[in-house]
Chains A and B, each alone.
Chain A
């Protein structure tokens, strides 16, 4: 048993984009209203790709535009809404409140790119997925960390 302050942690190798799709589908299958999923990584690391596969797995059809310009896109999905945030352009955590992020945390599933911009507003119960580059152009690796309630739930994420 981990001490309560330590996140549970798993490393997953993603040899190609299909592995990213399987990981996103697995996480989407576990997610429920109120969940916050932080997506971490440099430009091109696969954050938005993961989000697209996640949304598809929750039944979203049609355009999934990047939220970079609008900061958030809201989707009607299976069971609840999914809010897809890109907080890169935020200057202060309080600005996220104007985007309605508290409503998202209360009722929806939140996919959050650049979650560090949230500072103290980052939910204590969250799944963080950090993407890094692998040895080939398509390869990535993902580090999953469960915080709070997600510590126990992380084990249920099947390896892709």
Chain B
């Protein structure tokens, strides 16, 4: 089975061709990061037209590199949500057009599901597993029972974890995206010079909170101003360490809850863009070792937004007998867990 994946839910324009032997035939991502400057410095922004400008060419490139014709595809999978509605519509309509013209099955993929299943692209991680999903827009703990069967244990009650990095980096005068900038600055910092709070630590449940940490960093920055390089490094280290403590504490709670029902051989999967952070990967690896849990974290390029995971989610859904009609809508909000009952409209 060979599937073309398309991802346009945020700032990245991406296409990939993946098969059911877990072979990535071709993949490409056009993003704001420096490694993509060879494309002429044109970076996809929130405006849908940037996706329009690049998506056709990227699809053509991955199809050529994969050496497959459209009629040889077993399906086309495009991210249908959650994300920015303009970009979603571009990727969705492009995927539907290819599916319609070549009479191939179409899969409307939930971007969060693609993150959730991405570890299974690398090895046959069995269901069920506990998922820590950490990204710029999300911070959740979910039980992944199977394809399409997700149960949320906890989520952020305010900011996503990636936001804590991005806004922290802004306060410290570091660049965007904030995650890599904070990680680099923190490498030489003293995490104990400044004391920042660990919101919700020790409290029952698996929810996250980062807004108070952001506000505490504001006050620490104001008190320490003007900032020299060493102080920036120390504040970055304090922030990153606090985030690591929060993630480990909440994941520890989730593991305890998860083990009540499933005591044998628990598996923890970490996914999402923030899982590219080396310090957090090490912290979560230490937690897994300490709690006797099998840990899977995809390599950084599969943690940040990409179409490879979308193609893989398409394969998983097609193998489960699931495909979508060509009137499947783009959805700006699309919780993985239908019981999540968010205050906002889905």
**Residues in chain A within 8 A of chain B (CB atoms):** 42-45, 48-49, 52, 55, 60-66, 68-76, 81, 89-91, 95, 98-100, 133, 137
Task: Return A66 CB to nearest CB of chain B, in Å.
Answer: 5
22 A-B contacts, Cβ less than 8 Å apart?
A43-B218, A44-B167, A44-B214, A44-B217, A44-B218, A48-B159, A48-B211, A62-B343, A62-B344, A63-B344, A65-B158, A68-B160, A68-B166, A69-B10, A70-B82, A70-B84, A71-B46, A73-B344, A74-B345, A91-B45, A133-B218, A133-B222
Residues of chain A lying within 8 A (CB to CB) of residue B163: 66, 68-69
Q: How far is B212's CA from A48's CA once the two chains are assembled, in angstroms? A: 12
Q: How far is B216's CA from A52's CA once the two chains are assembled, in angstroms? A: 19
Q: B188 at interface (Cβ–Cβ under 8 A)? A: no
B214 and A43 form a contact (CB under 8 A): yes
- Which of A42, A65, A74, A75 lies in contact with B160, CB distance below 8 A? A65
A49 and B46 form a contact (CB under 8 A): no
B84 and A71 form a contact (CB under 8 A): yes
Q: How far is B343's CA from A100's CA once the two chains are assembled, in angstroms? A: 20
Residues of chain B lying within 8 A (CB to CB) of residue A98: 46-48, 86
Task: Return A130 CB to nearest CB of chain B, in Å.
Answer: 16
Residues of chain A lying within 8 A (CB to CB) of residue B218: 42-45, 133
B343 and A69 form a contact (CB under 8 A): no
A137 and B46 form a contact (CB under 8 A): no
- Which of B10, B84, B216, B345 lies in contact with A75, CB distance below 8 A? B345
Given contacts A63-B342, A74-B344, A75-B345, contact A69 B46 (CB under 8 A): no
Residues of chain A lying within 8 A (CB to CB) of residue B341: 62
Secondary structure class of chain A's binding surface, majority of residues: loop
Task: Return A108 CB to nearest CB of chain B, in Å.
Answer: 12
Given contacts A48-B158, A137-B219, contact A69 B136 (CB under 8 A): yes
Most-contacted residue by chain B among A49, A66, A75 (CB, 10 A): A66
Q: Could you mark each residue 311-346 of chain B with 1 if its beta carbon is under 8 Å from any beta carbon of chain A, else 0?
A: 000000000000000000000110000001111110
Closest B-chain residue to A138, C-beta based? B215
Task: Return B51 CB to nearest CB of chain A, in Å.
Answer: 12
Task: Return A98 CB to nearest CB of chain B, in Å.
Answer: 5
Residues of chain B lying within 8 A (CB to CB) of residue A99: 85-86
Residues of chain A lying within 8 A (CB to CB) of residue B82: 70
Residues of chain A lying within 8 A (CB to CB) of residue B217: 44
Residues of chain B lying within 8 A (CB to CB) of residue A74: 332, 344-345
A43 and B83 form a contact (CB under 8 A): no
Closest A-chain residue to B136, C-beta based? A69
Task: Return A136 CB to nearest CB of chain B, in Å.
Answer: 10
Q: B300 at interface (Cβ–Cβ under 8 A)? A: no
Q: B295 at interface (Cβ–Cβ under 8 A)? A: no
Closest B-chain residue to A133, C-beta based? B222
Residues of chain B lying within 8 A (CB to CB) of residue A48: 158-159, 211
